[in-house]
Amino acid sequence: MAQIHNSSTVAAVLFDLDGTLLDTAPDMTNALNMLLEEEGKEPLSYEYCRDYVSHGSIAMVTLGFGHPQKDKQNTDEFESRRLRFLDLYEQNLCVDTKLFVGMDETLLFLEEQGIQWGIVTNKPEFLTLPLLEQMQLHNRACSIVSGDTIPQRKPDPEPLYLAANQCGCLVTECIYVGDAERDIEAGNRANMKTLLASYGYIDDEQRPIEWGANGAVETPEEILDWLW
């Protein structure tokens, strides 16, 4: 595809993964419900689980089984469940996962305009890369930085510095889009323009208005309004 360069001051748009680029909540909820079924417990609804997905495996297992007690036996039991949850999720990574509505058109527009896009996530690489391969997105991204690519994770800005470097651009030429407080904090610390993905996984107890993003988008297409 021919690249059409324009007057945009943005060289790259970087995305968080879960709740920003991809709607992974259905498959993560399914994995949790498989684990609950194995232990003879009732399943949880997608609506109940959705807004906790961005917080990862600890939050999901806590949602299903409650907070672990501080003694060793309960801590070990919780960790065993967490690992089993990840195993079940890994086996069913891309059953119902999809791009958020409008994201495909947004990515295509960026590519047509010669604006690169990449991914910076706290999701571990053993889940991130196979998922992006199954979604046929891995060869399109200028950078894929997972939660264990380097020792630092968001809200540390280092993963965003790495992504900008891999995309061959300055941090001040990047937009970072995310649906969690750590995303906005990392982007701000990296001196990137930050956008809150309001369509993502944000529960009622969070106060995103206080996170300090440069702006918020209700749909992926609204990201394009920030390119100029």
Alpha-carbon torsion (85, 90, 94, 99), positive or negative = positive
pLDDT of 3 strictly over 60: no
pLDDT of 223 strictly over 90: yes
- Catalogue all structural domains in the chain, each as residue range(s) with its CATH number: 12-24+97-226 (3.40.50.1000), 25-91 (no CATH)
Contact 223, 217 (CB under 8 A): yes
pLDDT of 209 strictly over 90: yes
| Rounded average pLDDT over 23-37 | 98
Q: Range with the lowest mean pLDDT among 3-17, 53-67, 101-115, 116-130?
A: 3-17
Contact 92, 58 (CB under 8 A): no
**If you average pLDDT over every residue of the chain, what do you get?**
94
Q: What is the pTM of this model?
A: 0.93
| Rounded average pLDDT over 192-215 | 96
Distance CA 196, CA 176 (A): 9
| Phi, psi values for residue 4, rounded to 5° | -110, 105
pLDDT, one tens digit per residue, over 161-190 is: 999 999 999 999 999 999 999 999 999 999
Task: Give the pLDDT of residue 31.
Answer: 98
Element (H or E) spanning 82, and its range? helix 72-91
6: pLDDT confidence band, cut at 50, 70 and 90?
low
Classify 99 as helix, strand or coil: strand
4: pLDDT confidence band, cut at 50, 70 and 90?
very low
Listed in sequence order, the residues at least 6 apart from 135 whose beta carbon sits closer than 8 Å to its beta carbon are: 22, 94, 97, 99
75: pLDDT confidence band, cut at 50, 70 and 90?
confident
Q: Range with the lowest mean pLDDT among 70-74, 82-86, 172-176?
A: 70-74
pLDDT, one tens digit per residue, over 133-155 is: 999 999 999 999 999 999 999 99
2: pLDDT confidence band, cut at 50, 70 and 90?
very low
Contact 22, 201 (CB under 8 A): no
Q: What is the 3-state secondary structure (H, E, C) of 159-208?
A: HHHHHHHHHCCCHHHEEEEECCHHHHHHHHHCCCEEEEECCCCCCCCCCH
Size of the chain in residues: 228
Alpha-carbon torsion (79, 80, 85, 88), positive or negative = positive
123: pLDDT confidence band, cut at 50, 70 and 90?
very high
Closest CA to 99 of 221, 202, 225, 182: 221
Task: Give the pLDDT of residue 70.
Answer: 66
Distance CA 143, CA 165 (A): 9
| Residue 16 is among the residues annotated as catalytic for this protein | yes
- Catalytic, out of 16, 27, 51, 179: 16
Task: Give the pLDDT of residue 71.
Answer: 67
Element (H or E) spanning 13, and its range? strand 12-15
